[in-house]
Amino acid sequence: MVYKSVVRKALFRMHGGDAERVHETTLGALEKLNPAAKLVKRRLAGGRTVFGVRFPNPVGLAAGLDKNGRALHAWGALGFGFVEVGTVTRHAQPGNPKPRLFRLRDSEAIINRMGFNNDGALELANRLDRLGPLSVPLGISLGKSKVTPVEEAVEDYRTSLRALYRHGDYFAINISSPNTPGLRSLQDRGALTELLSALNATARDLAGSEPVKPILVKIAPDLTDPAIAELLEVCAAHEVSGLIATNTTLSRDGLAPADRRLAGEAGGLSGRPLTERAREVVRFVSRETDGRLPIIGVGGIASPDDAKRMLDAGASLIQLYTGFIYEGPGLVRRINRALC
């Protein structure tokens, strides 16, 4: 209640309401807490092993909030059971022109067209070297650089995987962001087959005699059921370890009347309007795979009830992004308590 009535109001007014500047200020503050946060030891029930990785609890931070891994110790201290950094690309890139991040307050939603702004795979690897061991598992989301043509995307992903392999506990292959031209075409059967074949071979080489680290695929909520089913066939053929469902959506359904003025802004929509669709996709994937493919459910989770429903739909783990922004750090604690 304090967060929503006091802290959130102050944050949303900061910098004249510029959402991206507020995000950077908040992330900078969390980064400064890293040394102290490193000493915090959370004991939360609900630990589970998924695709061979042990998670202290099933509530993770979704990719996008800490693209460059600046505040990794702080996220663990806030109660997250795992953190996913990125999406990171082979080449450092500034992303799309600003403004590119918009709050839709009445809808408890966000539209972003960030465009994979990040410091690049090598810089992230160097930062992770400096940070040292983390208290929770680390996922790394990999994407295609904007300057790289789609037909050369495979080598882009492979180069990033090589640079970061020693640091990640799992790797998410982002082929579903709507903010990089041509990226979603990599969800097609032929392109995805080529990409997964190459990444599996690279991962095996990097693993040596050790078990190969999990590779997951992140999909869009805008795919039809037949398209998802086809994608699942490719994932099964290439022994993908899991699926992340879902990314942001191009749909503008479910917006509150006061937010419809922003409906024309380009980019992906996240938050409350995505809740039901994300859950539908998770349920469909779980049914199609007979529950054998682990799923990280993400999209519109803003309460313990949302989290329970996502897990009931078939998710093994969940991730927060927009719900965390609107509800604050207490949401992580409330969900974990409810799940215990």
Q: Is residue 126 a known part of a binding site?
A: no
8 Å CB contact between 20 and 100: yes
Q: Per the residue annotation, which of 177, 241, 270, 286 is the catalytic one? A: 177
Return the percent helix, strand and coil in the chain, to nearest 5: 45, 15, 35
Count CB neighbours of 61 within 10 A. 25
Q: Is residue 99 a contact partner of residue 22, using CB atoms and an 8 Å limit?
A: no
The response to whether 300 counts as a known ligand-binding position is yes
- Tell me: is residue 218 an annotated ligand-binding position: yes
Q: Which residues contact 334 (CB under 8 A, 6 or more apart)?
A: 303, 304
Look up 177 and say whether it is catalytic.
Answer: yes
Q: How many CB atoms lie within 10 A of CB 312?
A: 12
Q: Which of 41, 59, 3 is nearest to 340 (CA)?
A: 59
208 is in an annotated binding site: no
Q: How many other β-carbons are positioned within 10 Å of the β-carbon of residue 292?
A: 8
Instruction: For residue 60, give the nearest of 318, 310, 303 by alpha carbon.
Output: 318
112 is in an annotated binding site: yes
179 is known to lie in a ligand binding site? yes
87 is in an annotated binding site: yes
Q: Annotated binding residue at 242?
A: no
200 annotated ligand-binding residue = no
Question: According to the annotation, is 9 in a ligand binding site?
Answer: no
Q: Which residues does the annotation mark as catalytic?
A: 177
User: Which amino acids are annotated as binding site, given as ranges?
Assistant: 63-67, 87, 112-116, 141, 174, 179, 218, 246-248, 271, 300, 321-322
User: Which amino acids are annotated as binding site for FMN, given as ranges?
Assistant: 63-67, 87, 141, 174, 218, 246, 271, 300, 321-322
User: Which amino acids are annotated as binding site for substrate, given as ranges?
Assistant: 67, 112-116, 174, 179, 247-248
